[in-house]
Amino acid sequence: MQITAGMIVEKLDQSVIVEAGAGSGKTKSLVTRMLALIAAGRSTVDHMAAVTFTRKAAAELKGRFQIDLEEAVRKEKNEEKIGRYLSALERMEFLFTGTTHSFLCEAPEGEAHRGEARS
Ligand SMILES: Nc1ncnc2c1ncn2[C@@H]1O[C@H](COP(=O)(O)OP(=O)(O)O)[C@@H](O)[C@H]1O
Ligand SMILES: [Mg+2]
């Protein structure tokens, strides 16, 4: 199936694997998909995990998501969606963005992972 950029945002029921070069808009697409999940009431920030390769990229991703949420609050007319965006902004600290390593260590199951690493 041909995957288009629009499908990344619209096909919220399907998992999507995207391979694309640097600067092609992968982070933009991921952030827009996260925003669409919030807008649709399909997810909340405390149920999301955005995993990247570097801490710098993880911090950038969270920053861009926050900026896009703030912009969405300003532009959105639908009160219900505005409420979901505001709730996401209030609960930003519960959004996991991090590296694969921090994900394994910080996720609830990470306790077992850490234990194994030490023994
Ligand atoms: N659909 C888009 N519309 C406008 N700007 C975009 C779009 N996609 C990406 N950009 C911009 O292009 C640049 C690279 O996008 P980014 O998502 O960081 O790429 P990647 O993660 O694939 O390296 C960023 O400045 C981003 O804001
Ligand atoms: Mg990127």
User: Is position 48 within any domain?
Assistant: no
CA-nearest residue for atom 6, ligand 1, is 25
Q: Looking at the 3D structure of the chain, how many domains does it have?
A: 1
Nearest ligand by distance to the CA of 56:
2
Q: What angle do CA 80, 81, 83 make, to 5 degrees?
A: 65
User: Is position 8 within any domain?
Assistant: no
User: Is position 69 within any domain?
Assistant: yes
* C-alpha torsion angle, residues 105, 111, 113, 117 (rounded to 10): 90
Is the pLDDT at 118 greater than 50? The verdict is no
User: Is position 16 within any domain?
Assistant: no
- Ramachandran assignment for 99, one of left (phi > 0), alpha (psi -120 to 50 degrees), beta (any other): beta
pLDDT in tens, 74-116: 999 999 999 999 999 999 999 999 999 999 887 666 555 555 5
- State the distance from the centre of ligand 2 to the C-alpha of 112, rounded, in angstroms: 30
pLDDT more than 70, % of the chain: 87
Which pairs with CB-CB distance under 8 Å and at least 24 residues apart come from 88-93? Answer: 88/38, 88/44, 88/45, 91/44, 91/45, 91/46, 92/45, 92/62, 92/66
Pocket test for ligand 1, best of 7, 19, 24, 28 (most atoms within 8 A of CB): 28
Provide the mean pLDDT of the chain: 89
Per the structure block, which two tokens stand in for 49? 């995990």
Instruction: Quote the domain boundaries for residue 69.
Output: 53-105
